[in-house]
Each structure stands twice: as C-alpha cells, then as structure tokens.
Structure 1
Amino acid sequence: MVEEPVFIIISCGRIFLFTSSTLDKYWSEIYSTKLLDLQKLVNFNKSIFKFPFEFVSDYYADITENLAKKIKVLANKVLIENAFADKDMNLITTYNFNNLLIKEAVNEATRIFRLCKKSDFGNTEFIKEVLETELDDLMVVSDYIQFNLERLRDLRDHINNKIDLDQNRIFKILTVATICIALPTLVAGVYGMNFEVMPELKWVYGYPVVILVMILCAILPYFYFKKKKWL
C-alpha cells in the first residue's frame, strides 16, 4: 500500500477527479454508477458538492474493510489451523504499516473536515450536516483501524509465544539428550583410563556390569525428565 494524491475539483455543476492509474479500477467499480445517479437528482448541485466528502470517508472505509479481511484470513491460518511460516511475520508487519498509513490519512481528513466546519465555508446548515455525518463515518473508520491494530498485536504476541514454547521444548529435548549421553560417556571414560589398579577389570562379569551401568545412566535421566513432564 502506498500513499497517492487525489484531486477533486468542482466547478459549475461539474466534477473533475484526478487520480493515479491504480485508483481507476476502484473508481470505475464503486463510483461510476454513483455519479450517474447524482445526475438524475433534482438537487444535483448539493449532491455533487456533498460527493467529495463522501468519497473520502467511503474510500477509507473500503480499504480498511479490505485490509480487515486479509487480517482475518491470516488470523484463521495462525490461530485455527495452527500453521504459520516466516512470511506470516512479514505479512503482519506489512498489514500493521498499512493500517498506520490509513490511520494517518483518516486523522488528516478529520482535521481538514473540522477546519471546514469551523470556517466560513461551513456556515450553511447543509454543509454542517454533511461534515458532521462524514466526521462520524471517519470516527467509525478510525475505531475499525484501531481494532485491526489490536488484532495484529494479539496475532504477533501469539506467534511469539508459540515460537518461545517451541524453543523451550527444543532446549528441553537437547538438555535431556545431553544428560543421557554425558553420563554413559563419563562411565566409559572412567574405565578407559587404563590405570594399573582397577579391580573391576579383573571381574568376570565386569564388562557386562559396566555396560549395564551405562545403559541405566542413559535410561534413568529419561524417565526422570519424563516424570517431570519435560518430554
């Protein structure tokens, strides 16, 4: 999502709209029929004057709703299907940045509408009514944006918690594996020192006993950590 200027000029009952090519599709799908409907109204001048304010609030509402749908799809994938990849964190960052862009634009539009309402431009009852209506709509959009930001924050926290749990589980497994390997290695190392005075070396069953001790050193820690619910 990128910021692009939109120029709306009203003159002598006509409206001129200057936008980038990326907005042409949105314009043709949403507002082409609306302009045709405006021309059929008896009070056309008032309706066409009201149009720019409606366009701003409607446009922000549409892109906010579209972004909310994308966030919902991502949330379903992460929370319900319990499947996420590295790119999902990048998506969360992108969606969060897009929400901030929309929020900044909505705040700026709200500021301009309020200035219009306080100026001589907003002296007429019709203009005041239009501005109050659109300000209310922008307030709703702003609340929706805040909801999107909170959902993204919760989603990021969930993923981070999931990653922490997975890391802890891996560390526990590595810890258990290290102990299960280290203890038998210690026993083997002791009997591999080849000291002259080692009575166990003369035992008939010395070798099987040492092997048994090594096996127990490997098995007992496993069951101990299993009981502690590390595994």
Structure 2
Amino acid sequence: MLLIHGICPENGDRLIHRTLTKDEPIPNGSLWIDLLNPSTLEDKKVETHLGVSIPTREEMHDIEPSEIIYTENGAHYMTARVICQSDTNVPKLADITFILTEKALVTVRYDEPGAFGIFLNRVTKPGGCGMEPAAVMEGLFEAIVDRAAEVLRGVGDRIDLRSRKIFDADSSQVERGGAYQGVIQKIGQYEHIISNVRESMMSVERVLLFLSANYQRPKKATTGFAPEWRTSIRDVQAIEEHATFLSSKLQFMLDATLGLVSIEQNKIIKLFSVVAVVLMPPTLVASIYGMNFKTMPELDWAIGYPMALAMMVVFAILPYLFFRWKKWL
C-alpha cells in the first residue's frame, strides 16, 4: 500500500493523505511517502520518483549495525525500532526505515504502530506540522516518543495496582488464590514491555543524534530542526531513565514476592514441625506401653489404660502450650 501525504491545495498549513492505486503516479509536492507492506512495483515507483533505493523487508530485518544509519546520494537512511501492538499484553518491536531527502520523507514499514495513526490525526489539522520533509519526520518522531511514554505510563500504573494487591492482601487469601504465581508471570510481561520500550528509544535516540549532527538544512527551508531534535533527544533520555526506574521497581517487586512465597512456605514447614513435636511425647508413651515385656506392673492395673491415654493427652497439650507461650504459633 502506498500512502501519499502532501500539502493541501486549499490551505497550505496542513497535510492531506490519500492512497494511490497501482497505476497512479506520485503527485509532485508530496512531502511524505508512506510504504505499508509495499509491493515490488510500489518500491520501483518511489525509487524512480525520488532516485533513492528502497530496502526490502529481508534487508530491513537482516541489516548490519553499520548500515542502520547512513547517507547515500544526499539521502539519509535510518532504521529504528518502534513499539507496535501496544494495546496487547506483550507489544512487539517493528523495524521501520526512514529515508529523508530534500523532496520528501519516505517510510518503509510492515507493521502499523499506533504512533503513525496518532501523527496522521495530528497533521491533517491546520498547523499540525511544518511543510517540509524534515518537519514531517520531526513530528513523526515526536509521536513515536509520546506513544512510548504513554505505554510506559500504562505499565507503571499496572505495576502499582499489582503491587497494592500483593502487599495489602491477606496472606492466606493470596496463597489460596495462587496470586503469587500470577504476579510473577505479570512481572515477566511488564519487564518485556519495558525492555521493548527501552530498546525502541535507544534506536530512536541514535537516529536523532545522527540527524542533529549530520542533517544539512536545505536552502529553501525556513527554519532549522536541530533545536527540535535536541528536545526530542532529551525526551527520549527521560523515557529511558523512567524505564530504568520501573525495571528497578519490578526487581524489588519480584524479590518481595519471592520473599512472601518463602514466608508462606516457612509457615507450612513450621506447622509440620510443631505437629511432629506435639505428637512425639504421646508416641513415646504409646511406644513404652506397647513393648512386649513379660513384667510390666501397669499392665495389671485397672486404671492402666486410662492412665496411658491421659498421659498422651497431657504430653501433647504441654508442648502446644509451650509454643503458644513462646509465641512461636
């Protein structure tokens, strides 16, 4: 699918977007050419229009670290990893290639990150974006950063909610409900999301640093974009710091949960130990009078049997009272 975003002819301060058919040529003045799951013919059409090379899906996936960001024939090629499917429990990362030229910005993607939809809603309004390819890219990266911050904030809220359920809940109810196992599973999911956000922001930061250092503003451009990119870099770094904080919080939560699991296990082991100690004296009494010696005076007593039962009961109660007195129960 080939999406074209150009200047609105009625109003020059906003963009319009439309989908080209297979036979339609690319209109002049298109500031952003968005290739979503492009075919070979669509790649060739863009290459002919702009004189750039469009990478295939395999090339984007198997790209070498040295080829993630480079300049060729005046065009800047940059590949970043963007959060995708952020509404699911486990969002994934999508590789997106940005090709910035003086005529237009080209994006090549095979997924639909939410940041692209957010940006489209913004730029179709008057004053939503500057009328230059670099301005479109700056606004697009701003939407990507905002979306990552929103995902991270949602994870933080869920971490707080899960933490309150664990630390404020009655331990017996938590144990019976199997909540500890569920919490550990959720911690794994949250850590996966945070890792994806951090990885995405690292790739975005690398692209922004490259642009701020290497992008030359065209002569016809009205403003430079270095200040905006530096602001985006600071936002990205703030998100990375927040992701590190949430990871530390998750680690504490995991340690605390495992500690609570150990406490519950120790309670069970302690109960078994107390029961074993309580039953030891009665077992000793029963063992003594269960011996088959010929001469045992108590065997001839009329109260021998009741006496043995009473001794077993008393010797069982005494350890229990001792444990209660020591506050071990």
Does the TM-score normalized on the shorter chain lie above 0.5?
yes
Equivalent-residue separation in structure 1 for 2:310 and 2:108 (angstroms): 85
In 1, Cα distance between the equivalents of 2:159 and 2:233?
Answer: 25
Distance in 2, matches of 1:112 and 1:14, equals 17
Counterpart position of 1:2: 92
The residue identity in structure 1 corresponding to 2:229 is L
The alignment's TM-score, normalised by the length of structure 1, stands at: 0.85
Deviation at 1:6, TM superposition (A): 2.5
Moved more, 13-22 or 202-211: 13-22
Q: Which residue of 2 aligns with 1:77?
A: 165
CA distance in 1 between counterparts of 2:272 and 2:146 reads: 55
Counterparts in 2 of 1:77-226, with a 5 A limit? 77-82=165-170, 83=174, 84-119=179-214, 121=215, 126-226=224-324
How far did residue 135 of structure 1 move? 0.8
Hey, what's the Cα distance between the residues in 2 that align with 1:182 and 1:48? 81
Letter in 1 for 2:96: V
Unaligned runs of 5+ in 2: 1-90
Tell me, which stretches of 5 or more residues in structure 1 are unaligned? none
Tell me how far 1:27 sits from its aligned partner.
3.5
- Closer, same or farther: CA 55–42 of 1 in aligned 2, 3 Å: closer
Higher relative contact order (CA 8 A, sep 6+): 1
Given the superposition, is the C-alpha separation of residues 13 and 115 from structure 1 closer, same or farther in structure 2, using an over 3 Å criterion? closer
Greater mean alpha carbon deviation, residues 164-173 or residues 103-112:
103-112
Higher helix share: 1
TM-score, normalization by structure 2: 0.62
Say how many residue pairs are matched: 227
The one-letter code matched in structure 1 to 2:190 is Y
Identity, % of aligned pairs?
Answer: 22
RMSD (CA atoms):
2.6
Using the TM superposition, give the Cα deviation of residue 72 of structure 1 relative to its aligned residue in structure 2, in angstroms.
Answer: 2.4
Structure 2: which amino acid aligns with 1:4?
A
Which stretch shows the higher mean deviation, 156-165 or 63-72? 63-72
- Structure with more strand by fraction: 2
Q: Which residue of 2 aligns with 1:60?
A: 148
Instruction: Specify whether residues 86 and 129 from structure 1 end up closer, same or farther in structure 2 by C-alpha distance, changes over 3 A only.
Output: same
